[in-house]
């Protein structure tokens, strides 16, 4: 059996999901803009998605995915992010060059394939951009995982992993009282050398270099 929905339909579902996460409800123009297509084409597709019972839609009013549509969208997002993780972690791609390839891979239909891939990758919780990966039931941890360079300022987070496992970096982190589980927030980012000033509760601020920041991963709820 081929795919349940065409690539095109899947792209619409994904775009609508994305937009309704941001705005609650979605408009025709939004989708046209997101998918680089024409509003008329969007309307055409909305009718099809409604007929397939994936979308709540009354013409001229806004629209949003129903439960089934959301479910399908989450599976596509899951595939996209797992493939991105694979490309970066296993095939040594840069995190900035994987999106386009994952746009194609996300439409491969086999559920067994994606569950095996998930297992092969060790059930990662976040993709290389820090976005959460839904599990095979479409649930996701609300936790984002990023390195310290990408942690928003004043966002409390918990250290969840160290990239470089060398004794040198562990010594440095130890000295600054940073370990797995430490709760901290970024107070300042210096554009000059990308160094970062951190604050850990009940301690005075510490500064770390870009090189170190890149290797410290933290998670936080959004």
Query: Which residues of this chain interact with a copy of itself, rule CB under 8 A?
Result: 87, 90-93, 100-101, 104-105, 108-110, 113, 116-117, 120
With respect to DNA, which residue has the nearer C-beta, 53 or 183? 53
Binds 62, which of DNA, a copy of itself, none (CB < 5 to 8 A, cut-off by type)? DNA
With respect to a copy of itself, which residue has the nearer C-beta, 59 or 116? 116
Q: How far apart are CA 26 and CA 87, in angstroms?
A: 32
Q: How far is the CB of 190 from DNA (least distance, A)?
A: 39
Residue 54 interacts with DNA (CB under 7 A): yes or no: no
Q: How far apart are CA 93 and CA 43, in angstroms?
A: 37
Binds 90, which of DNA, a copy of itself, none (CB < 5 to 8 A, cut-off by type)? a copy of itself
Binds 91, which of DNA, a copy of itself, none (CB < 5 to 8 A, cut-off by type)? a copy of itself
Residue 87's beta-bridge partner residues? none
Question: What value, to the nearest 5°, has the Cα angle with vertex 26 and ends 139 and 59?
Answer: 125
Residue 62 interacts with DNA (CB under 7 A): yes or no: yes
Quick count: other Cβ atoms within 10 Å of Cβ 134? 19
Question: What value, to the nearest 5°, has the Cα angle with vertex 194 and ends 178 and 188?
Answer: 65
Q: How far is the CB of 108 from a copy of itself (least distance, A)?
A: 5
Residue 163 φ then ψ, to 5°: -70, -65
User: Can you tell me which of 4, 23, 47, 177 binds DNA, judged by CB under 7 A?
Assistant: 47
What does the DSSP assignment read for 28-69? HHHHHHHTTS-HHHHHHHHHHHHHTT-EEE-TTS-EEE-HHH
Residue 44 interacts with DNA (CB under 7 A): yes or no: yes
**Site residues (CB under 7 A) for DNA?**
6, 8-9, 27-30, 37-48, 57, 59-60, 62
């Amino acid at each position: 059996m081929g795919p349940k929905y065409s690539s095109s339909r899947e792209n619409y579902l994904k775009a609508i999901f994305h937009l309704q996460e941001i705005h609650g409800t979605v408009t025709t123009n939004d989708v046209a803009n997101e998918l680089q297509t024409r509003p008329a084409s969007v309307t055409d597709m909305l009718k099809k998605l409604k007929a397939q019972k994936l979308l709540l839609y009354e013409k001229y009013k806004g629209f949003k995915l129903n439960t089934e549509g959301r479910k399908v969208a989450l599976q596509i997002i899951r595939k996209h992010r797992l493939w991105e993780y694979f490309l970066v972690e296993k095939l040594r791609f840069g995190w900035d060059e994987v999106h386009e390839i994952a746009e194609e891979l996300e439409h491969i239909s086999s559920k067994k394939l994606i569950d095996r891939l998930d297992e092969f990758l060790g059930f990662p919780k976040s993709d290389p951009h820090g976005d959460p990966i839904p599990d095979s039931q479409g649930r996701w941890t609300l936790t984002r995982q990023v390195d310290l360079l990408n942690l928003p300022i004043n966002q409390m987070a918990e250290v969840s992993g160290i990239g470089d496992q060398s004794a040198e970096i562990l010594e440095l982190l130890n000295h600054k009282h940073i370990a797995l589980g430490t709760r901290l927030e970024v107070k300042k980012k210096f554009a000059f050398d990308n160094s970062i000033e951190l604050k850990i509760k009940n301690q005075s601020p510490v500064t770390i270099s870009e090189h170190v920041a890149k290797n410290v991963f933290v998670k936080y709820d959004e």
